């Protein structure tokens, strides 16, 4: 089965290389000398669950214990992290080290706001090849300089209710199950559609955050190779959208709101959907809210062209280009993205490790569902679409919405979205 290939938006399947969407700011900095004396770094990220926040604090304390001359003042940001950090960056009021999302990385790198980590990586023996390309390249510019190390990530999988599958006489999905298999499962798992006690085979969202995985699996891409034009309205894209829409047409798939759920994970937990397409973030929710639910995770199915696609959702630790302590900032980034911290996050069930060296971490042996999600790294594409990411995401999601909810022709809807996106890409 072909699980590789080249997809764009953004995608790298082999050697880590320059990101065609992010221009480099210029200059060739050298690594500063290691820290001498005691320094205090400011660090920021988004506030998460109490358990995750506590683990971050614990790992920062471990860093300080192993680096007695570097202190860290951690200030998690509550609320809209992206908006607040953008305001801080625009005002040049940045912490020394902070979380960076792919959506933020391009503008921050191109405008010279982030520290080039490449010379520090070279001195420390940290290589881009330590990471899967789809995870490191969202934080890399055209010439290959690295401005952030991915701290964790997640992919998509098919969460399925084991009891419902058994009741429908369906076997456990295999690693080679196909688009046709998913349709067949959804049909057999649907009970009393359109009734108040209905259970649907699958809930799907009318947006790009899930459909794009099917586009990629069918050999399509969101943008062309250099990110200058939309590419999703070709035959591969049309067939992928028609397939996605088939669940709605056959009444075996619905939006989560149709069954009174806030999102697909909620519909799944309530038993209103036998299958959902979600990431590892659903696992802690099910553990805390639906502790007795029996479920498992299957990989996304193989397309008619015998390939699989997936999306990589990742974030990085980066440093401010204006930090007074770049060498100390690097030591913190290196530690917080290193194997001990990443394995602690995995063991807590919070996220997947970004390091290839943790592919056989002991946790995976006793938690095969996490392994299914992790193994998608080799055929995943970064969920980032260049400087016009928000516009692209909105227009593409509107096209999907027009098809699955308003019964518009798939080709027409995608053509309309492509025209809007091309105009934005060409004219800004």
Res. 401: pLDDT tops 50: yes
- Least trusted range by pLDDT, from 2-11, 244-253, 305-314, 347-356: 2-11
User: For residues 117-143, b (16+ Cβ closer than 10 Å) or e, as one string?
Assistant: bbbbbeeeebebebbbbbbbbbbbbee
CATH among 3.40.190.10, 3.40.50.970, 3.30.360.10, 3.40.50.10320 for 39-154+313-382: 3.40.190.10
- pLDDT, tens digit (0-9, with 9 covering 90-100), for 106-137: 999 999 999 999 999 999 999 999 999 999 99
Mean pLDDT of 145-167: 98
Q: Between the ranges 87-91, 223-227, 245-249, where is the mean pLDDT highest? A: 245-249
Query: Is 323:333 a contact under the CB 8 Å cutoff?
Result: no
Chain position carrying tokens 């926040």: 53
- Tell me the per-residue pLDDT of 259-274, one tens digit each, with 9 for 90 and over: 999 999 999 999 999 9
Lowest average pLDDT, out of 11-25, 299-313, 321-335, goes to 11-25
Strands 70-74 and 39-44: parallel
Domain range list for the chain: 39-154+313-382, 156-310+385-427
* pLDDT value of residue 52: 92
Q: What is the pTM assigned to this prediction?
A: 0.91
Average pLDDT for residues 310-319, to the nearest whole number?
97
| CA-derived radius of gyration, the chain | 22
Do the Cβ atoms of 281 and 314 come closer than 8 Å?
Answer: no
What CATH number should be reported for the domain whose range is 156-310+385-427? 3.40.190.10
pLDDT band at 54 (very low <50, low <70, confident <90, very high): very high
Q: Region 321-326: what's the mean pLDDT?
A: 96
| Domains 39-154+313-382 and 156-310+385-427 equal at CATH topology level | yes
C-alpha neighbours within 13 Å on the C-beta side of residue 63: 27
How large is the average pLDDT for residues 187-215?
A: 94
Q: Residue range 307-334: average pLDDT?
A: 97
- Computed over every residue of the chain, the mean pLDDT equals 93
pLDDT of residue 16: 46
Cβ(254)–Cβ(189) under 8 Å? no
Mean pLDDT of 390-413: 97
Residue 155 corresponds to which tokens in the numbers above?
A: 């992919």
Q: What is the pLDDT of residue 18?
A: 64
331 vs 143 pLDDT, higher one? 331
State whether residue 382 is helix, strand or coil. strand
Flag whether pLDDT at 35 surpasses 80.
no
**Best CA proximity match to 30, nearest among 121, 148, 140, 137:** 121
Percent of the chain past pLDDT 90, that is, above it, reads 84
Mean local confidence (pLDDT), 77-104: 94
Residue 426 burial by CB count (10 A; 0-12/13-18/19+): exposed, middle or buried?
exposed
pLDDT range class, residue 4, cuts 50, 70, 90: very low
User: What per-residue confidence (pLDDT) applies to 25?
Assistant: 86
The DSSP line for 162-186 is HHHHHHTTPPPPPTT-BHHHHHHHH
Examine the pLDDT at 170 and tell me if it is beyond 70.
yes
Separation CA 401–CA 192 (nearest Å)? 24
């Amino acid at each position: 089965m072909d699980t590789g290939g080249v997809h764009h938006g953004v995608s790298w399947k082999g050697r880590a290389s320059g990101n065609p969407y992010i221009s480099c700011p210029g200059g060739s900095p050298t690594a500063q000398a290691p820290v001498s004396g005691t320094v205090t770094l400011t660090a920021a990220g988004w506030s998460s669950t109490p358990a995750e926040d506590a683990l971050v604090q614990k790992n920062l304390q471990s860093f300080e214990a192993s680096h007695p001359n570097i202190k860290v003042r951690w200030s998690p940001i509550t609320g809209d992290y992206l908006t607040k950090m953008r305001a801080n960056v625009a005002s040049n009021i940045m912490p020394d080290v902070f979380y960076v999302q792919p959506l933020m990385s391009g503008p921050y790198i191109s405008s010279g706001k982030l520290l080039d980590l490449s010379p520090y990586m070279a001195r420390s023996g940290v290589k881009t090849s330590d990471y899967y390309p789809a995870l490191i390249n969202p934080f890399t510019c055209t010439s290959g300089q690295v401005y952030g190390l991915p701290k964790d990530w997640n992919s998509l999988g098919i969460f399925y209710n084991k009891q419902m599958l058994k009741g429908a006489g369906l076997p456990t999905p295999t690693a080679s199950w196909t688009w046709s298999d998913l349709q067949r499962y959804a049909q057999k798992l649907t009970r009393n559609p359109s009734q108040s006690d209905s259970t649907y085979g699958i809930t799907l969202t009318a947006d790009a955050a899930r459909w794009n995985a099917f586009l990629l699996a069918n050999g399509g891409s969101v943008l062309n190779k250099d990110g200058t034009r939309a590419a999703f309205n070709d035959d591969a894209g049309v067939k992928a959208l028609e397939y996605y829409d088939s669940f709605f047409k056959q009444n075996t798939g619905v939006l989560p709101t149709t069954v009174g759920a806030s999102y697909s994970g909620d519909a799944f937990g309530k038993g209103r959907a036998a299958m959902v397409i979600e990431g590892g973030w659903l696992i802690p929710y099910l553990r805390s809210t639906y502790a007795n639910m029996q479920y498992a995770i299957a990989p996304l199915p193989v397309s008619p062209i015998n390939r699989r696609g997936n999306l990589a959702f990742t974030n990085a630790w980066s440093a401010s280009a204006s930090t007074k302590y770049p060498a100390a900032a690097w030591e913190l980034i290196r530690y917080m993205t290193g194997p001990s911290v990443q394995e602690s996050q995995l063991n807590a069930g919070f996220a997947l490790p970004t390091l290839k060296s943790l592919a056989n971490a002991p946790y995976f042996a006793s938690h095969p569902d996490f392994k299914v999600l992790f193994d998608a790294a080799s055929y995943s594409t970064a969920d980032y679409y260049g400087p016009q990411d928000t516009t692209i995401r909105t227009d593409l999601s509107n096209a999907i919405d027009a098809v699955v909810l308003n019964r518009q022709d798939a080709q027409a809807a995608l053509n309309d979205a492509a025209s809007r996106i091309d105009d934005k890409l060409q004219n800004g």
